[in-house]
Amino acid sequence: MEIPVPPPVRWICDVLRGSGYQAFVVGGGVRDALLGRPVHDWDVATDAPPDAVQRLFPRTVPTGIEFGTVTVIIDSQAVQVTTFRSEGGYRDARHPGWVTFGQRIEDDLKRRDLTVNALAYDPASGRFVDPYGGQADLANRIIRTVGHPVERFQEDALRLMRAVRLAAELGFRLDGRTAAGIRCCAPRLERVSRERVGEEWRRLLAAPDAGRGLMLLYRTRLLPWVLPGAPKLERVAVRRTVAALERLAASGAATKMAAVLYGLSSPEADAALLRSLVYSRQASRQVSHLAQCLRDFRRDAVHSDAALRRFLARVGREHVPPFLELWRAWQPLESHRLGRELDRWAERVLAAGAALSPGELAVDGTDIQQAGGVPPGPQVGALLTRLWEHVLEHPEDNTRDRLLTLIKAWATEQRCSG
């Protein structure tokens, strides 16, 4: 099979060859191209040493020169060109103690993590170098380590996450020995920086098959190391969360993470969990708000239109769509007296012109000053709030005429009482 290598990448390989070096396309680009998935970056492996690469191309950036990586820029496309490399003497369950540059592509492929990532392709001849059966594993949709799983996970514990994340992204299954190796090495995830764990977790969650990804984390016993301190990691809770994630396949990152918090965490544990996964402050706020709304909705007795309007006001206009998605994802799993009706109910209530914040009133502070003769100051805000309270009970009154009438009446009332 031939791979559609883009012209700039091909040209880089040609230039290297023209100077007597070997050049292959390697890694995720080859994998994704063979799967017919979009390729987001192409990597080139060569026996040319980094300084030769820098001399051969007019625009280069020494992005990882001590590890042999030079970024070559052609037509504003950045291609990483890395010298064949062997690694060893792993320190701290993560980083190699030594790196040497090599002469053979086979040695370079040997240090790579998974068979599907350890494939090289020569665009000039259309030949693959595939010593670990990467093409067969791609065809059979299997994630398998290059070499002995336990050894490879002991060298670098990030590979534990990469294996499961890639299985979720590609919809592959884990080879049995690889899965057993992950189970055995799971506690080593403790040695990986939380930034990297969080990054892998977010990529896993972004996959359409995130539910399966979560199931794999559970089965491989990685889950307690990925979500430290989550209070509900037992089988039933995980299965329910997996089912919810399956319904949220097309949803945004915040909605999916909120489903995970709702399913596996608790109000007390949310903040620490989000921190341990290095979520940004803004993302944390949104995610925990959504999860908390779902918990509150279950606890609160929302059974009138007015109560629903008040509840949706607390959710906040921009969070209403993800909140309803979350609700839909969880609702079939739990008996609740509202049944499937919340969607339609919320739609009706919103269509009737409910104002979910004072900003959604048909009048504003200027109207209060002008129509009510109220001087600028706290009185304006107080009247606005009072109008909003009124509209929460009587959404049909959210028209300019009706509210101006109320402003006049209430402003007079205030002046008389004040």
Q: Which residues bind ligand ATP (CB under 6 A)?
A: 27-28, 41, 43, 112-113, 117-118, 156, 158-159, 162
Least distance between ligand ATP and beta carbon 160 (Å): 10
Least distance between Mg ion and beta carbon 41 (Å): 5
**Cα(120)–Cα(105) distance, integer angstroms:** 8
Q: Which residues contact 382 (CB under 8 A, 6 or more apart)?
A: none
Stretch that binds Mg ion, among 15-23, 41-49, 237-245, 393-401 (CB under 5 A): 41-49
Q: Which is nearer to Mg ion, 69 or 251 (CB)?
A: 69
Least distance between ligand ATP and beta carbon 388 (Å): 48
Q: Which is nearer to ligand ATP, 38 or 58 (CB)?
A: 38
The terminus-to-terminus CA distance of the chain in angstroms comes to: 85
Stretch that binds Mg ion, among 35-43, 112-120, 151-159, 278-286 (CB under 5 A): 35-43
> Which one of Mg ion, ligand ATP, none is in contact with 387 (Cβ closer than 5 to 8 A by kind)?
none
Least distance between Mg ion and beta carbon 191 (Å): 23
* Residues 15-34 as x/- pattern, contact with Mg ion by CB under 5 A: -------------x------
> Which one of ligand ATP, Mg ion, none is in contact with 397 (Cβ closer than 5 to 8 A by kind)?
none
Sort strands 120-122 and 23-26 into parallel, antiparallel or unpaired.
antiparallel
> Which one of ligand ATP, Mg ion, none is in contact with 144 (Cβ closer than 5 to 8 A by kind)?
none
Least distance between Mg ion and beta carbon 110 (Å): 18
Least distance between Mg ion and beta carbon 139 (Å): 21
**Cα(171)–Cα(159) distance, integer angstroms:** 17
Least distance between Mg ion and beta carbon 32 (Å): 9
**Cα(279)–Cα(49) distance, integer angstroms:** 39
The answer to whether 204 touches 250, Cβ cutoff 8 Å, is no
Tell me which residue has its CB nearest to ligand ATP.
28
Q: Which is nearer to ligand ATP, 192 or 368 (CB)?
A: 192
Q: What is the DSSP string of 178-205?
A: HHHHHHHHGGGGGGS-HHHHHHHHHHHH
- Residue-wise burial string across 250-271, b where 16 or more C-beta atoms lie within 10 A, e elsewhere: ebeebbbbbbbbbbbbeeebbe
The one-letter amino acid at 278: V
Q: Which is nearer to Mg ion, 172 or 297 (CB)?
A: 172
> Which one of ligand ATP, Mg ion, none is in contact with 113 (Cβ closer than 5 to 8 A by kind)?
ligand ATP
Q: Which is nearer to Mg ion, 28 or 353 (CB)?
A: 28
Stretch that binds Mg ion, among 39-47, 94-102, 122-130, 397-405 (CB under 5 A): 39-47
Query: Residue 72 — φ and ψ, nearest 5°?
Result: -105, 130
> What stretches of 106-222 adopt beta strand conformation (E)?
120-122, 127-129, 142-143, 173-174
Q: Which is nearer to ligand ATP, 31 or 390 (CB)?
A: 31
Least distance between ligand ATP and beta carbon 338 (Å): 41
Query: Residue 156 — φ and ψ, nearest 5°?
Result: -145, 110
Least distance between ligand ATP and beta carbon 117 (Å): 3
Q: Find, among 123, 116, 110, the residue nearest to 152 by Cα.
A: 110
Handedness of CA 356, 361, 365, 366 (dihedral sign): positive
Q: Which is nearer to Mg ion, 41 or 300 (CB)?
A: 41
CA angle, 302 as apex, 300 and 303 as ends, to 5°?
A: 145
**Count of residues that interact with Mg ion, criterion CB under 5 A:** 2
Residue 15, token pair as written in the block: 């230039």
Q: Which is nearer to Mg ion, 22 or 117 (CB)?
A: 117
> What stretches of 150-250 adopt beta strand conformation (E)?
173-174
**Cα(170)–Cα(207) distance, integer angstroms:** 8
Rule CB under 5 A: say whether 77 interacts with Mg ion: no
Contact residues: Mg ion, CB under 5 A: 28, 41
